[in-house]
Structure 1
Amino acid sequence: MSYCVLRSKSAGYSYLFVPGLHKTISMSSLKMIGGVVASRRLSGKALRSQSAELSVLLAQNKFTNLRTMASKAVTMENINPNIVKLEYAVRGPLVTRAGEIEKELLKGASKPFKRVIKANIGDAHAMGQVPITFIRQVLSCVTYPENIDKSDFPEDVKQRARDILNACGGKSVGSYTMSHGIEMIRRHVAEYIERRDGHKSDWNNVVLVGGASNGIKNCLQLFINDLDGKPSGVMIPIPQYPLYSASLAEYGLEQIGYYLDEDKQWGLDSAELERSLTEGSKHCNVRAIVIINPGNPTGQVLTRENIEAIVKFASEHNLFIFADEVYQDNVYAEGSKFFSFKKVMTEMGEPYSKMELASFMSVSKGYMGECGLRGGWMELVNFDPDVKANLFKAISAMLCPSSLGQAAVDCVAKPPAPGEASYDLWLKEKTSVLQSLDKRAKMIAETFNQMEGFKCNIVQGAMYAFPQITMPPKAIEAAKQAGKAPDVFYAFQLLENTGICIVPGTGFGQRPGTYHFRTTILPQPALLQEMLDIFKGFHEKFTKEYS
C-alpha cells in the first residue's frame, strides 16, 4: 500500500492520504494511536516503512477522525485559527446552559427555582424596560406609512417620519441607503455632538453603523498590518468588554491589557499605562488605546482630569484613541459627569486637538435600550483623508446599516424639542428610565457590600456592577477538580441552584488572584430585589458549604 503526505504550509498541519481507500488521516490522529507516528511531519520513507502496521490500523478503523476526501471542506484542522481563539463570554457557556434550563423548566423539570433571571447581558427591553413612545411611533410610521395619515400620533412624529422617508430611496425604508448612512441623519448626529460638547462637528465625519460594535470592528480593521516584522497591538482596559478581546483575536491583533484601579473606583493610572505599553512593545507595535467611559463592566465614570492624563499619554506615544462612549446618558452617582474625549481634546488645545480619535455611540443603551434595532454612529476625528476614504470603501462592501436602526438614531440625535407635541412625554419617559436605573445602581452595590466576602464599588454609570468576591480555599479546590476557574465554578453553581445567570470575571479579565463577576442592573426593581435576596441566600449557603 502506498501513502502520500499532504502538507498545508499556512495551517501547519499534515495529512496521510491513502489512495486505495481515498481517505485522509490527520497527523494528530496518527499520534494518538500507540505511538505509530511520533512526529507531525513525516517523510514518505518513514511512512512506507510502517505500511503494514498502518494497514492493519486502517482495517480496524482505529483512527478517531478518519475522513473521506469528499466529506468536510472545513474542519478543526484547517479552520481559521483566529476564530477558534475567539471567545465572547457575555454569550458563552453559562448563557447556553441558562437557555437549556429555560427549556427544561418549560417541560416541567423540577428545579429549586421557577425562572431564569438573565443578568448577564445589557438587554434593557428583555428585562422589562418599556420602549420610548416617540421612537416607536416614528418607527411605526416609517415602516407603515399609512399610519402617517390614519393614526392619531402627534404631528411632530408624523413630520419626522415624512422627513426620514423623503431621505430614503423610493421613500421606503426597504431601500438601500448610502453605506455610511442617510445624510440627513448624519447631519442631525453632528448637531447632537455640537450641543453636547459645545464645539463644531462636521457631519462628513459621522458614520452611521449597525450598532456601535460594527463601527468599532470597522476601525479595528485599519490596524491589521505587521510593521517591521511585528504585529500591531491595541491597548484595552482590564476588565474589558469582551467585544474587544474577541475582535482582536479574530483579526490577529495583539491584546495589550492595562489594569483599571479597583481601589480608586476603577480609575486609570498613568504609571500603569506606561507599564502596559512597555510590556506590549516588546512583542508588537502598540498603535491604539481603547477607553470605555462610562465603564463596562466596571460602571465607573472617568473624571476630566483622568481623561486629560489619558490624552497626554496617547499623544506622547502617537496612539489612536477608541472612545467607547455608548453609556454617556447613563450617569448616576453624585459628583460624576460625562465628558466626551473629543470635548476634552479640543479644549486642551494643540497638539491634543489634532489627535486621531474615533468615538462611538449607540441606541442600544442609554435611556433607549433599543438593542435589537442595531443603530449607532461613530465620529471620525482628525483622520487622514486617504485613510478615511479607504475606511468608507471598506464599509461600502457591507452595503449599509439597517434603515430602521438609522431611523432610531435620528430620534435619539434629534429628540422632540420643547414646545413640540411629543416633548413632555419623551422627557417624562427618559427621566423615569434614568431615575429607575439610578435607584437600581444604588440598590445592587449596597446589597453586595452587605454580603460576607464581597466588595463592590458604587455604580457611577453604565448598566453593570462588577463586585469582587473572596473565594474560600475549599471552593477554589472544588473548582480545580471540576476543571473550572473559581469564578466560573461559582457562576455555574449560582445558575444551577438559583436560575440567576451572571458572567464570571474571567470573561472580562481581572488581576491575578482576584475573582469577580458582572451583573446588570437592568432587572426591574421588584425583580432585582428578588434576585438580590435569592443571591444573598445562595452565597450564605455556598460560603458555609466550602468554608
Structure 2
Amino acid sequence: MSSRFLPRTFYRVVNCSENIKGRGCPIQLSPKSLNRYQFPRAMANVSGRERKLLTMDNLNPCVKSMEYVLSGPLVTRAAAIEKELEQGAKKPFKEVINAVTGDRQAMGQPPITFTRQVLALVSYPELIKYSNFPDDVKERATFLLTGCSGGSTGSYSEASGVEIVRRRVAEFIEERDGFSSNWQDIILCAGASTGIKAVLKLLDCETSGLKTGVMVPIPHYPLFPAVIAEFNNMQQMNYYLDESNGWAISIKELKRALNDTKGTCKPRALVVVNPGNPTGQVLTKNTIREIINFAYEEGLFLIADEVHQQNIYDNNSEFHSFKKVLMEMGLPYSKMELASFMSSSKGYMGECGMRGGYAEVINLQSGVKAMYLKSISANLCSTVLGQIAMDCVVKPPEPGGSSYKLFVREKNSILKMLTENAKIAVNAFNSIEGMSCNAVQGAVYAFPQIYLPSNAIETAKQKQMHPDEYYASQLLENAGISIVPGSGFGQKDGTYHFRTTILLPSAKLKAMLQILRKFHEDFLKKQQ
C-alpha cells in the first residue's frame, strides 16, 4: 500500500494529538501513520463529538410522519424474541408463530413449479439446450428471451416493461373482462406497491391552494397512508367500511367522508381495495356500480387495488374488476380515469420476493400519460425476472401442455387450503368469548374484533399504548404469537381488532388458534 497525500482541510477537522509539522501544506504520511486518522475521527469537531449533517431536526418531515405498522415495534420485538429463543432463553413457548405476513413462501407454501422452471431457464439459458425441463417451459423461456435486450434477463427493459409481457397482460385482462385492453396502458412494476405510488405521485399537487384529498378505506391497507404521508401536497380522507354489514362500502359513508373534509383539501382520488385487506370482503357488482357512479359525480380518479382477485373463497362471492364494470356501464363512465393493479405476490403464486406486478391505467389525457411514462422512466425498469414471473401469472400452462396437470394440481391445492383456512379461522374466532369475526370471503387475512374489558383498556392507556396494541404485545410475550393490532389499519373509535394471516399450514393454524384461545381466556380472567 502506497502512502497518500492528505488535503489541507484534513488539518482543520482532525483533533491532532501529536505535533505535525508544516500545517497548511500537504505532507506525506506512511500507512502506519495514516491509520491513526480514520474517517470518524476526521469528521469529529474539536470537542471530539461526531458531526452529523442529517439530523432529526432537518430530516424530511414527510418521512418522519410516515407510519407502516407491518414493520413496527411489535414486528421488531417478535424478531428479537426469536433470537432470544435461539440463544437458549426460557419462554412460555418454544417458537414465535408469525401470523403477520402475507408472504406465502415465508409461511411454507412451495412455489409453483412452472414459474420457477421458467425463471431458471431465462436466468441461465444454457439449460434450455441441455436440461430435461418440460417442453412448454423451454418454449416459454425461449419466447420470453426474444423480448429481452441482448436475449438476456440481465439487461434493462423499457421503463414500462418488456413489450411481449405487457401484450400478454392485456390479453389476460381481455379474457378476464370481455373488453379490449391496450397493451400500451400496461405498466409492469415492482409489485403493485411501486405502481400505486407512481400513480399517486401524479396527483401530488395543490389545487386552488388546497392539498389533494385521497379517499382511503378504514380499515386500510397500510401502504396507502404510508405513501400519502410521503407526499407534501396530499391529505388522507377516511371512509369507514361497515363491519355490521360484512365490511361493505356504503355510498352514504362515502358522501359523509367527502362532506366532512370540505374546505380542508381538494378531493381528487378514491381508493378501493377489492378483495379487502385486512377485512377480506368481496364487493358485489352492484356496489362497484354505485362506487363508479359516485366517483363520476364527484370527479374522482379511481384507484382499484385488486391484487387478491384470485383469492375468492366464498361460494356466493365473485370477483368483478372495476375495469369490467366501468365498461359495462358504457358512456360516460367508460371514459373515466382508472388505475387498477395486480401482483405476482398474491393469488396462488406467492412470488413476493420476485417483485412482479402490473398497473393498467386507462383514459389518461395524452399529455398526462406522457408525463406518467417520463416519471416512471426515472426508475429505469422493474426487475426483469419479476416481469417474467408476472408473465407466468397471466399466461399459465395451457391444457395439453407438458406442465398443465402439475400446475393445476399445485394451484388447486393451494387455493383449497386457503379456502379451508378461511373457514377454520372465522369459526374459531366466533367461538371464542369476547371475539367476533366477519366471513373471510377473499384475500388472505382475518380481522376479528376483540371486546376488551375496561381494566385492559385502562392499563393500555397507562402504558401509552392502543388497547389492541397492548393486547397484541401480551399475546406475543406470553404465547409467542405475532399479530398486527387493528389500530395500525385504522378502525372506528371504541372498537379493537387485530389482523392475522390464514396462510399458515392448516395444522399450524389450528394449533395457533388453540394457543390464542387459551391466552385470551387467561387474559380476560386477569383483567377482571
TM-score (norm 2): 0.90
Deviations 1:337-379 (A, max 9, x none): 0000000000011111111000000000100001000000000
Shift in Å, 1:70: 7.4
Q: Does 1:377 align with 2:354?
A: no
- Which residue number in structure 2 is paired with residue 531 of structure 1? 512
Q: Does 1:193 align with 2:187?
A: no
Shift in Å, 1:149: 1.6
- Which residue number in structure 2 is paired with residue 83 of structure 1? 63
- Which residue number in structure 2 is paired with residue 24 of structure 1? none
Which of the residues 154, 158, 183 maps onto 2:163? Answer: 183
The amino acid of 1:345's aligned partner reads L
**Partner SS for 1:113:** coil
Give every structure 1 segment of 4 or more consecutive aligned residues whose post-TM-superposition deviation is greater than 6 Å: 66-70
Q: Does 1:445 align with 2:445?
A: no
**Partner SS for 1:286:** strand
- Which residue number in structure 1 is paired with residue 140 of structure 2? 160
**Partner SS for 1:255:** strand
The amino acid of 1:236's aligned partner reads V
Corresponding residue pairs, total: 484
Deviations 1:57-115 (A, max 9, x none): xxxxxxxxx99997111111110111000000011111000000010011000011111
State the alpha-carbon separation in 2 of the partners of residues 308 and 455 from structure 1: 30
State the alpha-carbon separation in 2 of the partners of residues 282 and 335 from structure 1: 41
Deviations 1:281-317 (A, max 9, x none): 2200010000000000000000001101100000000
State the alpha-carbon separation in 2 of the partners of residues 440 and 385 from structure 1: 46
- Which residue number in structure 1 is paired with residue 279 of structure 2? 298
- Which residue number in structure 2 is paired with residue 345 of structure 1? 326
CA distance 1:69–1:107, shift in 2 (3 Å): closer
Q: Does 1:327 align with 2:314?
A: no
State the alpha-carbon separation in 1 of the partners of residues 128 and 425 from structure 2: 43
TM-score (norm 1): 0.87
State the alpha-carbon separation in 2 of the partners of residues 291 and 331 from structure 1: 17
Which of the residues 114, 126, 135 maps onto 2:115? Answer: 135
The amino acid of 1:121's aligned partner reads T
State the alpha-carbon separation in 2 of the partners of residues 262 and 423 from structure 1: 41
The two structures, once aligned, show a CA RMSD in angstroms of: 1.5
Aligned sequence identity (%): 55
State the alpha-carbon separation in 2 of the partners of residues 310 and 540 from structure 1: 41
Which of the residues 252, 259, 276 maps onto 2:240? Answer: 259
Deviations 1:212-249 (A, max 9, x none): 00000000001110111111110000000000001000
**Partner SS for 2:63:** helix
Which of the residues 404, 422, 426 maps onto 2:407? Answer: 426
Which of the residues 170, 174, 186 maps onto 1:206? Answer: 186
**Partner SS for 2:280:** coil
The amino acid of 1:318's aligned partner reads G
State the alpha-carbon separation in 2 of the partners of residues 274 and 351 from structure 1: 21
Shift in Å, 1:171: 1.1
- Which residue number in structure 2 is paired with residue 42 of structure 1? none
State the alpha-carbon separation in 2 of the partners of residues 156 and 498 from structure 1: 48
Shift in Å, 1:152: 1.2
1:307-322 to structure 2, matched below 5 A, reads 307-322=288-303
State the alpha-carbon separation in 2 of the partners of residues 229 and 181 from structure 1: 36
The amino acid of 1:81's aligned partner reads P
Gaps of 5+ in 2: 1-12, 14-45
Which of the residues 473, 477, 481 maps onto 2:454? Answer: 473
The amino acid of 2:270's aligned partner reads I
1:485-496 to structure 2, matched below 5 A, reads 485-496=466-477
State the alpha-carbon separation in 2 of the partners of residues 466 and 365 from structure 1: 18
Which of the residues 191, 197, 207 maps onto 1:227? Answer: 207
